[in-house]
Amino acid sequence: MTEQLRLLSVHAHADDESITMGGLLAVSHDRGVRTVNICCTDGKLATIVAEDMPEETTRPHLAKIRQQELRDACAILGVDEVHFLGYGDSGMWGADTNQLPDAFWKADINEAVGRMVEHIRRLRPHVVVTYDGVGGYGHPDHIQAHRVTLLAVEAAHMKSLYPHAGEPWRVPKLYYTSIPVSFLRKASDFAKAAGMEPPFGVENPEDLPFVTPDEWITTTIDVRKGIRRKREAMIAHHSQIGPDWPLLAIPEAVNIEHFGEESFQLVISRVPVSLPETDLFAGLSVEEAVLV
């Protein structure tokens, strides 16, 4: 593998990568970072929002449709590799589908971690990005993606664990995706001034389950040069994201000028850091992650 900085994003469903960090993936590609996305589930239980995709004819093929949408979106963002961890969608929290045999939520944790360790040891990422402990908004697949990724990052550098999954690799930095309260407050203020509905139909951003207190944010990335591609990648998820989605409802020029940032929480760093950061790769070089 050619030595270059490498970024691994781990998400529960197709479209999560574009919504939470599409700008980062785009600008990382521009700077020569090798980017890889792992999608943990097939997304077959998602709500179909596209008006030209009837439920009765689309549902049986939704898993394959969403896989292709993900590949299309990642191509727009310049992602080098797309992989699927191989689990079924669990559905929303508390649904009977949480207990389906193939549901990610019901996965054998040791097996799931082993699959992720194999990816990490093969890809040797310098930075891994996934969700926080509540999965952003409490979706069981997001929570499971958090658990599996966190455990795999720790296990990947231990020789005694998963010895058949490749040579050990110590991941230097792990981040959680985040949407700060201030970001959505600004979006809400813009929507109100423009006579639009507030983002996600909520007047007070603090009431949304997936926002992050601003004081928890460690890293803010300028992704203005990637906003257009982020929007195009979101549109590629046609079955899931309609034109009224908040980021798409706001004009592109306004997005670039006022909403051209993505935020993250640094959770693990094995290199010295100075917070706050403006670069997930701050303090890193291709030599930073070492075999142990």
Question: Cβ neighbours of residue 202 under 8 Å, at least 6 residues apart?
Answer: 188, 208
DSSP code string of 74-90: HHHHT-SEEEEEEEB--
What's the whole-number mean pLDDT along residues 2-21? 94
Give the DSSP per-residue string, 104-126: GGGS-HHHHHHHHHHHHHHH--S
- More confident: 191 or 260: 260
**Which pair of tokens denotes residue 288?**
């930073």
Element (H, E) at 67: helix 62-77
Q: How confident is the model over 196-200, as a mean pLDDT?
A: 74
Res 290 pLDDT > 50: no
In the predicted structure, residue 137 carries a pLDDT above the cut 70: yes
Query: Do 77 and 26 form a contact (C-beta atoms < 8 A)?
Result: yes
pLDDT of residue 291: 44
Tokens for 65, please give them: 């449709």
For 6-180+214-269, give the CATH class. alpha beta
So what's the pLDDT on residue 286?
65
Number of Cβ within a 10 Å radius of residue 96: 7
Closest CA to 265 of 275, 256, 250: 275
* pLDDT, mean of residues 193-203: 75
Cβ within 8 Å of residue 7, ≥6 positions away: 24, 25, 28, 33, 34, 35, 36, 125, 126, 127, 128, 129, 280
pTM of the complete model? 0.93
**DSSP, residue by residue, 223-280:** -GGGHHHHHHHHHH-TTT--TTSHHHHS-HHHHHHHS-EEEEEEEEESS---SSBS-T
On the question of pLDDT at 288 being above 70, the answer is no
Q: What is the mean pLDDT of residues 202-228?
A: 88
For the segment 37-78, what is each residue's pLDDT rounded down to a tens digit?
999 999 999 999 999 999 999 999 999 999 999 999 999 999
Give the model's pLDDT for residue 190: 79
pLDDT of 136 reads: 75
How confident is the model over 20-24, as a mean pLDDT? 98
Q: Around Cβ 29, how many Cβ atoms within 10 Å?
A: 18
pLDDT the model gives residue 245: 85
Confidence of residue 287 (pLDDT cuts 50, 70, 90): low
pLDDT in the model for residue 156: 99
